[in-house]
Amino acid sequence: MPGHGGLLSVKVVMSEHIKKVYSFYSWIYDALFGKIFEHGRYVAFHMMDVKANETVLEVGVGTGLSLPLYAKDVKVVGIDISREMLDKAELKKQYYNLSNVDLFDMDASSMNFANNTFDKVIASHVITVVPDPLRTLSEIKRVCKKDGEIFILNYTGCNNKVISGFEKFISPFRDKIGLGKHVDLDDLLRCANLSVLCERRVNFLEMCRLIKCKNNSVLP
């Protein structure tokens, strides 16, 4: 069993791997994944039901595909670990004149935001990719206001048992190419003390889950 230093080294290596993978994907991400995940992106936006003057954090904002959906009276902050993905998001910010959007190169498991900062936080296709999903969820809870809303949109596989078994088998390969490892999302949410308020299956063959939770953390 590796010690604390060993675990830290593993997470650093994994983070660097993710950066390299998404540095490559940044050039083709919109064309490759834009349409594939479009349905979930729009359903998530409507489920969030963002009100004027609310603050929203997009964890893993990527190339900023969802940024133009927000009204200009909503403050949106996007973070990502890939500088190349953020550069694409910055181009969209300029093209659509999104003065309400701020973008930061930041690790989701160690965010530089104060406690209780955001009304709503959404993590799209992030939880199965990060080295430490539970720590990332803990950080999301920390920066979200008490009784704020947390949205998790992630690939979780098909309900079909045969297909699901195959997906678990190829999980290590999927992880290597940056598509995420198999994670028991329900167990993860229990460990993070997050209760599901509602959820929907979205995207092709309903292979992704969109989950809405209320933040029940009490932080100073």
Instruction: Answer yes or no: is pLDDT of 181 > 70.
Output: no
**Fold of the 4-214 domain:** Rossmann fold (3.40.50)
DSSP the chain: ---HHHHHHHHHHHHHHHHHHHHHHTTTHHHHHTTTTHHHHHHHHHHH-PPTT-EEEEET-TT-TTGGGS-TTSEEEEEES-HHHHHHHHHHHHHTT-TTEEEEE--TTS----TT-EEEEEEES-TTTSS-HHHHHHHHHHHEEEEEEEEEEEE---S-HHHHHHHHHTHHHHHHTTS-----HHHHHHHTT--EEEEEEESGGG-EEEEEEE------
pLDDT tens sequence across 11-68: 444 467 667 666 766 778 788 777 888 999 999 999 999 999 999 999 999 999 999 9
- Listed by start position, the domains of the chain span 4-214
pLDDT tens sequence across 128-156: 888 899 999 999 999 999 999 999 998 77
pTM above 0.85, yes or no: no
